[in-house]
């Protein structure tokens, strides 16, 4: 298992903190101190983004294999998947991305209502997706990893009970450093590009 190259804090946090923004706290566990990270929603969009008067449910993305985890994925080579030893997301990656998508749609101010399955039982559309890539790649000949995010999306028309449109969104961002903070910033940038494109694509398909 590859360890991240950031310093491990010496103070053990005993209270669970509520985290906002792209940030980190540390908690103690059976395997030592683990830094917890989360990412941020998008709040800026194209000026010609259309307004829609329909309700949207954002389903939790499907994620297969090692991506359906709180652990932060790295790939030392294309055929191998590992995790950073002393860092983790604050929640499972698909759940975190679902929340960030909902917050991004809300931040756009261009949709009548948006929520997750349990809170919006009669939507006009459902956004379903599959998380295909969400990792730091170390096989490109550089010490700094490339962060790759790919989300395959389908917009389901509830009236027609059929897929209205589908699209794939991908972004790759090279980290500015090998430390964990730089890697997380690159994750935030790459996912931000995918979030923005997903929101703009969805709202343009009304």
For the chain, which domains are there?
23-40+50-203 (3.40.50.10610)
Q: What pLDDT is attached to residue 90?
A: 97
Q: Which residue has the tokens 């790919």?
A: 150
| Beta carbons of 88 and 7 less than 8 angstroms apart | no
**Diameter over CA atoms, the chain:** 57
Distance CA 112, CA 92 (A): 28
This prediction has a pTM of 0.84
The pLDDT profile of the chain, 206 residues, written as one tens digit per residue, is 444 444 333 333 322 333 345 665 444 444 567 999 999 999 999 999 999 999 999 999 999 879 999 999 999 999 999 999 999 999 999 999 999 999 999 999 999 999 997 655 689 999 999 999 999 999 999 999 999 999 999 999 988 777 778 999 999 999 999 999 999 999 999 999 999 999 999 999 86
Tell me the β-bridge partners of 108.
Answer: none
| Beta carbons of 136 and 81 less than 8 angstroms apart | no
Render the burial of 78-107: b for 16+ CB within 10 Å, e for the rest: eeeebbbebbbbbebbbbbbbbbbbbbbbe
| Beta carbons of 175 and 185 less than 8 angstroms apart | yes
Q: What are phi and psi of 41, to 5 degrees?
A: -75, 165
Strands, E, within the chain: which ranges? Answer: 23-29, 32-38, 52-58, 62-63, 71-77, 80-89, 111-115, 125-137, 146-157, 162-174
Q: What pLDDT is attached to residue 118?
A: 61
Q: What pLDDT is attached to residue 122?
A: 84
The rounded Cα 142 to chain-centroid distance in angstroms is: 24
Question: Left if phi > 0, otherwise alpha if psi is -120 to 50, otherwise beta: which for 21?
Answer: left
């Amino acid at each position: 298992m590859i360890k991240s190259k950031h310093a491990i804090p010496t103070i053990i946090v005993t209270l669970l903190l509520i985290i906002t923004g792209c940030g980190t706290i540390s908690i103690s566990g059976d395997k030592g101190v683990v830094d917890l990270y989360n990412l941020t929603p998008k709040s800026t969009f194209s000026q010609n983004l259309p307004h829609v008067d329909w309700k949207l449910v954002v389903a939790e993305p499907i994620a297969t294999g090692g991506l359906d985890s709180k652990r932060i994925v790295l790939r030392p080579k294309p055929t191998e998947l590992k995790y950073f030893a002393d860092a983790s997301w604050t929640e499972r990656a698909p759940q975190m991305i679902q929340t960030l998508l909902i917050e991004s749609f809300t931040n756009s101010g261009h949709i009548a209502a948006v929520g997750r399955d349990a809170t919006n039982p009669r939507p006009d559309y459902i956004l379903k997706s599959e998380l295909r890539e969400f990792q730091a790649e170390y096989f490109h000949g550089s010490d700094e990893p490339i962060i790759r995010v790919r989300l395959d999306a389908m917009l389901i028309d509830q009236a027609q009970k059929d897929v209205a449109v589908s699209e794939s969104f991908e972004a790759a961002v090279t980290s500015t450093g090998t430390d964990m903070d730089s890697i997380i910033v690159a994750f935030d940038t790459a996912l931000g590009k995918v979030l923005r494109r997903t929101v703009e694509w969805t709202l343009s398909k009304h």
